[in-house]
Amino acid sequence: MKINTLRYSFKQGFINIRRNLLFSLASLGTIIACLFMLGVFYSVVLNMRHEVKMIEDSLTVTVFFEKGIDEQRIMAIGDEIKSIANVDTINYVSSDVAWKSYVDDVYNGDMNYVQNIFGEDNPLEDAASYEITLKDISRQEETVTTIKAIPNVRKVNSSDGTAQSLNSISRLVGYASLGLILILLLVSMFLISNTITIGISVRKDEIAIMKLIGAKDSFVRTPFLVEGVMIGLIGSIIPMILLFFMYDAVVDYLTAHYNVVANLIHFVSTAQVIKGVTPISLLLGIGIGFVASFVTTHKHLHV
């Protein structure tokens, strides 16, 4: 009996979709547009966060020491820095390494030319430092304050403005995407609700007879729930297929035709995008279809 009821519910659900084809297609199209936009924004945000993470990983906090402190004290300062929870990596740069790096950057590594100007002395003799990367760039100010409080630390260089800008951009994109997607989701629920309402209106006399002969509300409601869920399910699968093919095509086009994009942006793979957005899309699509149809049937089935 239960199998027959389930078969009947699915059959009637598909009949309802076909009977109200125009409204079903409108609901389906809106969900597809909504979830495709979700996929697009998700891929943009994912790539932006990936790029921000790479920039964050490249941002360093440089710690300089007071003049004249010995190597043992420098190592002790390093141990204190390592104990700070937000410190990810720490690299000691000796004064000799700092000087060599400066010569490489400014004088293209021409040590003979440099020695003619500065002699054998190292002008950066007191420029030994620690280069530090952080686990959470948003806590950079707090971490820098902690490092500055360590005795014998002379100066700490950090990129506060860059860190704040990265966080602001990431939040702005996230909020804008969330707002637009929420609007599209509400429109989708409205259209599905209208589709279900029309289906109920068309079958109003039939439903009344079914209830008079003892049909339970759950029996009457299930075909409409199936209709809403099927619209949501189909509407969540199609945009993921479109995104799968279009993401690769767009990335290939951008990297092939715009060298700046290819050099500046490191795109995440299609697999990463689809893996992340598919569960969200299916959950939203099926959820929208179910909730919209459940609320509508609950409201209109008192016949």
- pTM for the model: 0.60
Q: pLDDT digits over 33-75, tens only?
A: 878 887 888 888 788 777 777 776 677 788 888 877 888 888 8
pLDDT for the residue numbered 29: 81
Q: How does residue 1 score in pLDDT terms, banded at 50, 70 and 90?
A: very low
Q: How does residue 32 score in pLDDT terms, banded at 50, 70 and 90?
A: confident
State what percent of residues in the chain have pLDDT above 70: 66
The answer, yes or no, to whether residue 214 has pLDDT greater than 60, is: yes
**Among the listed residues 97, 90, 140, the one whose alpha carbon sits nearest the alpha carbon of residue 148:** 140
Return d(Cα 224, Cα 237) in angstroms, integer: 20
Question: For residue 65, how far is the Cα from the chain centroid?
Answer: 39
Secondary structure of the chain as H, E, C letters? CHHHHHHHHHHHHHHHHHHCHHHHHHHHHHHHHHHHHHHHHHHHHHHHHHHHHHHHHHCCEEEEECCCCCHHHHHHHHHHHHCCCCEEEEEEECHHHHHHHHHHHHHCCCHHHHHHHHCCCCCCCCCCEEEEEECCHHHHHHHHHHHHCCCCEEEEECCHHHHHHHHHHHHHHHHHHHHHHHHHHHHHHHHHHHHHHHHHHHCHHHHHHHHHCCCCHHHHHHHHHHHHHHHHHHHHHHHHHHHHHHHHHHHHHHHHHCHHHHHHCCCCCHHHHHHHHHHHHHHHHHHHHHHHHHHHHHHHCCC
Where is average pLDDT lowest: 8-17, 135-144, 288-297? Answer: 8-17
Q: What is the pLDDT averaged over residues 177-198?
A: 70
pLDDT for the residue numbered 303: 47
Q: How does residue 262 score in pLDDT terms, banded at 50, 70 and 90?
A: low
- Domain definitions of the chain by residue range: 2-55+164-300, 61-158
Residue type present at position 209: I
Q: What is the pLDDT averaged over residues 137-162?
A: 81
* 197 within 8 A of 300, measured Cβ to Cβ: yes
Return d(Cα 241, Cα 58) in angstroms, integer: 35
State what percent of residues in the chain have pLDDT above 90: 1
Q: What is the pLDDT averaged over residues 269-279?
A: 86
What average pLDDT does the structure give for the chain? Answer: 75
Q: What is the pLDDT averaged over residues 243-254?
A: 85
Q: From the CA atom positions of the chain, what is the Rg in Å?
A: 31
pLDDT for the residue numbered 167: 66
Where is average pLDDT lowest: 37-51, 64-78, 141-155, 206-220? Answer: 206-220
Class for domain 61-158, per CATH?
Answer: alpha beta
pLDDT for the residue numbered 137: 75
Q: pLDDT digits over 91-100, tens only?
A: 888 767 666 6
